[in-house]
Amino acid sequence: METQPPEVQVKILAGRVTSLEGRVTEHGKEIDSLHDMLIRTEERDRFRDEQLSGFGSKLDRIDGKVDLLSIQPAKDSAEKWGKAVWLIIGGVIMAAVNYMLRNIGL
């Protein structure tokens, strides 16, 4: 390039500048898009964490109630109460799994 006349060198450099400006503009748009995606992901994560923390307290309350039920003497038989406790625990676990799967989009 140094062996060419100054006018040719200027045209070559102007072409390079135009090309680089286009690339910088395109990458700037990509960076802005990624930034917006990051913000939305952080908002979804924050909402999910709030929901799961509330869900944890509900599980703790249900666990306490199940413990109370297991301490109480069985009215009909210990086997019926055992089945009821397992049904409740199974229902809570299924509800938790369903809630988490629904929140992650499956």
Q: Which residues of 38-63 are buried (b: 16+ CB within 10 A; e: fewer)?
A: eeeeeeeeeeeeeeeeebeeeeeeee
Q: Which residues of 15-24 are buried (b: 16+ CB within 10 A; e: fewer)?
A: eeeeeeeeee
pTM, entire model: 0.42
Q: Where are the domains of the chain?
A: 6-103
Q: Which two tokens stand for residue 14?
A: 């102007």
Q: What is the pLDDT of residue 65?
A: 83
Question: pLDDT (tens digit, 0 to 9) for every residue of the chain, 106 residues total?
Answer: 678 888 888 898 899 989 989 998 999 999 999 999 999 999 999 998 888 878 878 888 888 888 777 776 655 566 777 788 899 999 999 999 999 988 887 6
Q: What is the pLDDT of residue 75?
A: 53
Q: What is the pLDDT of residue 1?
A: 65
